[in-house]
Structure 1
Amino acid sequence: MWAHLSACANSFTPPLDLRVAIPDYAAKLVARAERFEAWKGPTLIGLVAVYCNDPARVAAFVTSVSVVPERTRMGLGRRLLAAAITHGRSLGFARMALSVDCGASALGLYRDLGFTEDARDGATLHLSLDLTVPCPDASEWATAQERDREARP
């Protein structure tokens, strides 16, 4: 995971390695996050990591969405995030939340999937998605999740 996050560091706004120590962050994701991954052979090419540790099931928090640069704009991030949303719903969470820089390229993806702005803190947007509302594309999302799991080595 460390290699994947390092390869994707510059696709974050601001770059990931300017915000966190990547080895420590990777270890934290492995230990504490639910991960939705896409692999090409032995290489992790896409990752969505979500903290689903709220005992009241109020909100799951998306902490990382990353796709290696040569695979962006192909729908991989959308499929992985959709799988995470489906998973959050299946666990009974009311909302899925995330924070993103207002200049991040992924902002359009989040809005397309139904995330709306809850608050703004300087350049950081805090978005959330109501998971209590049924999603018309849920069956398609589940299929994408199964495909992504099958893609693992």
Structure 2
Amino acid sequence: MSTIVYRTKAATEAEIATHLSQCAAGFIPPLDQRINIAEYAAKLFAKAVSFEAWNDGLLEGLIACYFNSESKQAYITSVSVSKALQGGGVALQLLLNCLQYGKQHGMKTIRLEVNKDNLRAINFYERNGFAKEEANGNSFFMFLSLKDMPLNITA
């Protein structure tokens, strides 16, 4: 039985692109219908902090987040877990790793955007403390305050 290994900012640009391509159909709407995955992977690699789940040497889970040290705001731009590992707590552990990193680096809030039709993701975020901030077109903007969150977060 393989063990999931969690790392931060270890994936290469190519590994990020491969993972996003493999998970593209699971996004609502599908990721490859909205963006150029290679360009997006390059941007994430260069500018985001990636929280990663590795299984047998393969990137199987990813949260990419931008952290703004001036405004103390963070923005989760991508959350994906391979179909084989969905439902096993990988997304939760990645989210906790991201939140803890944000807290340790003085962030006040973390925001994200989610498609209104992605009920599974919306429920996941709400179960983990995110609140809907506003709606815009097909999206909800959600946020989580890190102010009262403990420094060491566990599942």
Match of 1:56 in 2: 71
Which amino acid is the alignment partner of residue 95 of structure 1?
Answer: T
Match of 2:33 in 1: 18
Match of 2:87 in 1: 73
- State how far apart, in whole Å, the 2-side matches of 1:82 and 1:63 are: 15
Gaps of 5+ in 2: 1-15
Aligned with residue 50 of structure 2, among 2, 24, 35: 35
- State how far apart, in whole Å, the 2-side matches of 1:130 and 1:90 are: 14
Runs of 4+ with >3 A deviation: none
Match of 1:82 in 2: 96
Determine which structure has greater relative contact order: mean sequence separation of CA pairs < 8 Å that are 6+ residues apart, divided by chain length: 1
Aligned with residue 101 of structure 1, among 105, 108, 115: 115
Q: Deviations over 1:9-68 (max 9, x none)?
A: 0111111011110000001111110110011122100000000134221x1000000001
Match of 2:8 in 1: none
Preserved CA contact (<8 Å) 2:134 2:142: yes
Aligned residues: 139
Match of 1:119 in 2: 134
Match status 1:5 vs 2:20: yes
- TM-score norm. by structure 1 comes to 0.86
- The secondary structure found in structure 2 opposite 1:45 is strand
Sequence identity, in percent? Answer: 35
- State how far apart, in whole Å, the 1-side matches of 2:91 and 2:71 are: 28
- State how far apart, in whole Å, the 1-side matches of 2:52 and 2:99 are: 14
- State how far apart, in whole Å, the 2-side matches of 1:17 and 1:120 are: 23
Q: Deviations over 1:93-150 (max 9, x none)?
A: 1100000001212111101110001100122000000110124x94425xxxxxxxxx
Gaps of 5+ in 1: 142-153
- State how far apart, in whole Å, the 2-side matches of 1:114 and 1:138 are: 16
- TM-score norm. by structure 2 comes to 0.85
